[in-house]
């Protein structure tokens, strides 16, 4: 996935085994005709026009069977979801927490039609030769993810201890990421041991808690650059880095791109639009 996202068209004979069994990727599965069945962990999942599938990172999918199914598989990496500067932190947190305990979600005919329409538009953007960056994709994906979250909320998923811990962790992270950068800080606020918090976060997201914390700081740095038009020195200071070089290394290590490269690419895209 060059952009951190891929869209596959489901049709008879499609390589679903290859698409759905990448344990380091999230998958949202939409069916507009026929049925699709698979085993997700210990749960048997059956998808059709009014049931969409949610496969999270680290889920184990097996025994995939389709019956004249057509639709879409939207696959995206954790970075694509978490590093989006367009998606609000609240939307991202809702997706993580709302989907902890479910593998599918009920969707109305209207929602299914809308989601499939957005999937088709996303697919078109992915195949476009005009965009090298992810911003247009994330803009469309924001609406798509919001509709999924809204459908999940309507089902009122059951609460359990892990769900509560993850929800509290993301909530505390949004409040304190400027001050607290270590797992032990959030474990203390939640009256948990650092090892237990890290275990729960990794179990449910596929990443250690330190990675989640760093990505939240990185997302804020990108927001400051784009929404507040702050320079590197101002951003580094606001985020509590001792100097520009420390922040520059952090940015590159966490994003895979230098601050200047990201800034120049965004300006180029903004000029094109």
All CATH 2.60.120.280 domain ranges in the chain, comma separated: 5-154
User: What is the torsional sign of CA 258, 246, 79, 154?
Assistant: negative
All CATH 1.10.10.60 domain ranges in the chain, comma separated: 161-272
pLDDT class of 3 with cuts at 50, 70, 90: low
Interval 31-76: pLDDT, tens: 999 999 999 988 999 999 999 999 988 788 999 999 999 999 999 8
The pLDDT assigned to 270 comes to: 47
- How far does CA 62 lie from the centroid of its chain? 22
pLDDT class of 255 with cuts at 50, 70, 90: confident
pLDDT class of 144 with cuts at 50, 70, 90: confident
Cα 215 from Cα 149, distance rounded (Å): 21
Q: Contact at 8 Å (CB) between 69 and 12?
A: yes
What mean pLDDT is reported for the chain?
85
Bridge partner residues of 71 (DSSP):
10, 31
The pLDDT assigned to 160 comes to: 65
CATH of 161-272, one of 3.40.228.10, 3.30.499.10, 3.40.50.1970, 1.10.10.60: 1.10.10.60
Q: Specify the pTM.
A: 0.71
Give the SS3 label for residue 235.
Answer: helix
The correct answer on CATH 2.60.120.280 for the domain covering 5-154 is yes
pLDDT class of 271 with cuts at 50, 70, 90: very low
The pLDDT assigned to 77 comes to: 83
pLDDT class of 189 with cuts at 50, 70, 90: very high
The pLDDT assigned to 126 comes to: 82
């Amino acid at each position: 996935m060059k952009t951190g996202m891929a869209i596959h068209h489901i049709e008879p004979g499609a390589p679903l085994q290859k698409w759905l069994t990448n344990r380091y990727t999230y998958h949202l599965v939409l069916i507009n005709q026929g049925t699709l069945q698979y085993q997700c962990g210990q749960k048997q999942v059956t998808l059709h026009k009014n049931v969409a599938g949610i496969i999270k990172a680290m889920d184990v999918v097996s025994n995939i069977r389709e019956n004249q199914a057509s639709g879409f598989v939207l696959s995206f990496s954790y970075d694509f979801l978490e590093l989006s500067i367009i998606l609000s932190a609240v939307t991202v947190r809702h997706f993580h927490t709302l989907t902890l305990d479910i593998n599918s979600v009920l969707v109305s005919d209207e929602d299914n039609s809308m989601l499939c329409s957005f999937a088709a538009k996303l697919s078109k953007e992915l195949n476009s030769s005009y965009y090298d960056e992810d911003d247009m994709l994330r803009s469309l994906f924001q609406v798509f993810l919001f509709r999924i979250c809204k459908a999940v909320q309507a089902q009122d998923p059951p609460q359990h201890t892990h769900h509560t811990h993850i929800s509290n962790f993301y909530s505390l992270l949004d409040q304190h990421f400027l001050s607290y950068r270590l797992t032990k800080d959030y474990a203390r606020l939640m009256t948990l041991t650092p090892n237990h918090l890290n275990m729960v976060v990794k179990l449910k997201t596929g990443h250690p808690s330190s990675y989640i914390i760093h990505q939240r700081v990185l997302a804020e740095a990108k927001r400051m650059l784009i929404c507040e038009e702050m320079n590197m020195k101002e951003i580094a200071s606001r985020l509590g880095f001792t100097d520009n070089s420390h922040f520059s290394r952090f940015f590159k290590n966490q994003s895979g791109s230098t601050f200047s490269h990201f800034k120049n690419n965004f300006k180029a895209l903004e000029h094109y639009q």
